[in-house]
Amino acid sequence: MNLFYIDESEKNSRLDIVFNNRYPNFSRAYIKNMIDEGKILLEGKKVKAGEKVKLGQKVEFEISEVKPLDAMPQNVEFEIVYEDKDLIVVNKPQGLVVHPCSSTRDGTLVNGLLYRIKDLSGINGVLRPGIVHRLDKDTSGLMVVAKNDTSHISLAGQIKEKTCKRKYLALLDGNLKEDEGEIKTYLERSKSDRKKIAVSDKGRIAITQYRVIKRFTTACLVEFSLKTGRTHQIRVHAKSLGHPVVGDKVYGKAVKGLNGQLLHSYSLEFTHPRTGETMKFEIPLPEHFEKYLKKLKEQ
């Protein structure tokens, strides 16, 4: 059994919300099912999902067995950078959706993983097996995928505790005034367009550090380091600086010859769930990104 104790910030909150805050990669439905089935216990007792918790109470939980997966295996093209019995590091190409959703039923990274990998963690349910964190469809680069639930919990915890380090390269429209800095805002769903995320005076805190790598006449290449992992965080923060990511059709403008934003997850560092070893991976920019930079250099 795994366990943790309720701290000061969690007291008087619902058990399911506390659990979701600690392990955000468990879906709320999955958490409720675990509580209903007695696989999440409060002080050793089976309770309801809405039970209010008290300071110092013990929460115990067991890892649920992997359930049969509904997403169909399909031969989808992507690169496996590293693989062992606990996890996989993949290089997701631009244009590939991570998991099935209402708008994309198949042809996703998950479909490809099921085709190539025998075992994946079941924590995120039948449509998102193994998925610890995500990249937007048109963002390329490194992702770590869990092969078992123990690895999934460890990796999700590292992301929550900010010990998993993720760095991105993005080409921004125009030139930033400062060579480096930190962006700290609240983000929430846009009230005018629910598909968008907006900077707000409330919502969830989002922190992004940036450093200009190279300046061009009409753009700048910037390294971004995530201190939090919110939906569309880098793209929204870039827009908030007045310099959206080049090719971002949602927060900037479409660019002829580009299929989406020039945003690439090039560096990923985490602690291996089983061995405790520091794992660090870096990959070069994809061909479409390099070609666009070459054009800028020629100008």
Annotated catalytic residue, options 70, 106, 119, 136:
136
| Distance separating alpha carbons of residues 80 and 278, to the nearest angstrom | 19
pLDDT score, position 124: 62
Q: Confirm whether 33 is domain-assigned.
A: yes
Q: Confirm whether 39 is domain-assigned.
A: yes
pLDDT score, position 69: 45
Note down the domain range covering 140.
Answer: 64-150
Q: What's 206's domain CATH number?
A: 3.30.2350.10
**Tens-place pLDDT, residues 187-235:** 998 888 878 999 999 888 999 999 999 999 999 999 999 988 888 999 9
Cα–Cα distances in Å, from 232 out to 35, 107, 136, 176?
A: 31, 22, 7, 19
pLDDT score, position 62: 78
Look at residues 297, 218, 221, 288 and name the one whose alpha carbon lies nearest to residue 257: 288
Q: Confirm whether 282 is domain-assigned.
A: no
Catalytic (active site) residue 84:
no
Domain end: 150, 182, 197, which one? 150
pLDDT score, position 296: 93
- Per-residue pLDDT tens, the chain, 299 aa: give them: 788 999 888 899 999 989 888 876 676 777 888 898 888 999 999 999 999 999 999 999 876 544 444 578 899 999 999 999 999 999 999 999 988 776 677 889 999 998 988 778 766 665 567 888 889 999 999 999 999 888 988 998 898 888 999 999 999 999 999 999 999 999 998 888 878 999 999 888 999 999 999 999 999 999 999 988 888 999 999 999 999 999 999 999 999 999 999 999 999 999 999 999 999 999 999 999 999 999 998 87
Q: How many other CB atoms are there within 10 angstroms of residue 220's CB atom?
A: 22
pLDDT score, position 67: 45
pLDDT score, position 185: 96
Domain end: 97, 124, 150, which one? 150
Q: Confirm whether 272 is domain-assigned.
A: no
232, with CB counted inside 10 A (0-12, 13-18, 19+), is buried
Q: Confirm whether 215 is domain-assigned.
A: yes
Q: Confirm whether 46 is domain-assigned.
A: yes
Shared domain check, 141 and 104: yes
Residue 45 has phi, psi (to 5 degrees) of -115, 150
Shared domain check, 261 and 174: yes
Q: Confirm whether 160 is domain-assigned.
A: no
Q: For the chain, what is the domain count?
A: 3
Domain end: 12, 42, 61, which one? 61
Q: Confirm whether 281 is domain-assigned.
A: no
pLDDT score, position 64: 53
| Distance separating alpha carbons of residues 163 and 161, to the nearest angstrom | 6
pLDDT score, position 66: 42
Shared domain check, 21 and 85: no
pLDDT score, position 103: 67
Q: What's 49's domain CATH number?
A: 3.10.290.10
pLDDT score, position 295: 93
Residue with tokens 């949602």: 250
